[in-house]
A and B are shown apart, each in its own frame.
Chain A
């Protein structure tokens, strides 16, 4: 028999097995394990592109089928004097698989039902919640304002903005304005000059955040290479920087 089965249409080994059983039009309670195993293995050998994740699960099922097949070949023992424990073990080797297939088929069937519900529900539209704050009449905030105050507030805001303005051009990668090396050299030069300096003297109000960060990083680097020592009296107080006396190795 030739099939042209597309792998994607199966949701796993159970789905494939279900498909083979339906196709062969056989009773699920009386599966011809020989035939099904053959077809199953034929199918998985035909899978050209081996998706390992899927394959391992398909292989487990193949092994299960072969195990059942071999058990079926063993002669059945007589059960006359067997206790319950033994009877269960000697039940049809296909039982466990059939149980799983039936369980799987239930949910497969339900999932198709849900798919129909989904199709219907997709044609239904819901309205998003109305933004009631618009109607809430909270314009009292502006009650005490007059035009002059508003203009003043706006001016203040614009002034503040000007100060903090940093242009970020996202479409271009900007060259780093401050490099660690330069900053370290600058600090060292200043130290040569004065002997001891304050951290705050290394930058002024116009310095950008990036500049201050780089200055701080270079301080850390200088501490690491043991060319300076720093002191700070309290939390948040200014940091004092001094040259570390070089020890000759």
Chain B
């Protein structure tokens, strides 16, 4: 049996204003409420609302056999409430079907794991509480910001009662001869690892509407046949996991409705469920489904799902990114000891990884992706506004 784990990342950051040195004096708000509201309303209209509606229909139609999973960041939930409450309601309706797993992560979609373990644990607990509060859901699976993973992450996550499984990227340099189609254990064998099958995930997420791609157009038949072929490697009745992980904004935002992405999704589960050897599962089912001795796998260096390198270079490569993030984390303890919740909240909103992503100065293909997502003219601008924001925060200490 091959179990498809469809997991979607739902995230929106609080983008900074074009925040200048002179703005520091005003004590004014540093986040661009207008832009953030605009983006949230736009993405809700183009992606969240129509996709949620479609998936809800599919879940009902397939009577429990179609399963999907989400991680929804705290910054996204907050902004749903402010700018698009109907979107939050539609997620709640999905969770109520019982066919949706909610996955844990850091509340602020931050890189705190790499810089401040205490802050990381705080943010994970905040997110867990939020999921309980909003959806009545107890999270048991975890994925770190942008699938960033390294051995030490499993140690930290293991400290938190209840997490059994972590999702990350199926990076070739780590897997080597191994297949991402099996469930693994972390290096201490305490936690399950599910690894993204990036070829097929990216066929949907990145290549779906690319007319230069030899496989264009991607039809449901073609895609299901590829998946079916994967089961040829199955032996001794071992259950396989096909981990299709992607940004939720793939649907209707990165791949426009005109590309046919919604039609594709409308028919995909039906075709999968016609075949006896294919099905859908949740990450929380991993232990039950893994009917074999799971091999442990070690990630000595950090990986992620970003860019071609699948490492940390999207956020932490150039000097601007390093100076910015180090400045932030050096301030965290001082901010915490000050005991002003408003300042701490601001610092945490500034910990969202997107701020560092905007400062990425890599060119070629990846640079284009960064540019697409950035609200600023250049990485330098993003850096200037961010450093000014940190200066403003420090002045308020």
- Do these two chains interact? no
Contacts from A to B (Cβ < 8 Å): none
**Chain B positions near chain A (C-beta within 8 angstroms):** none
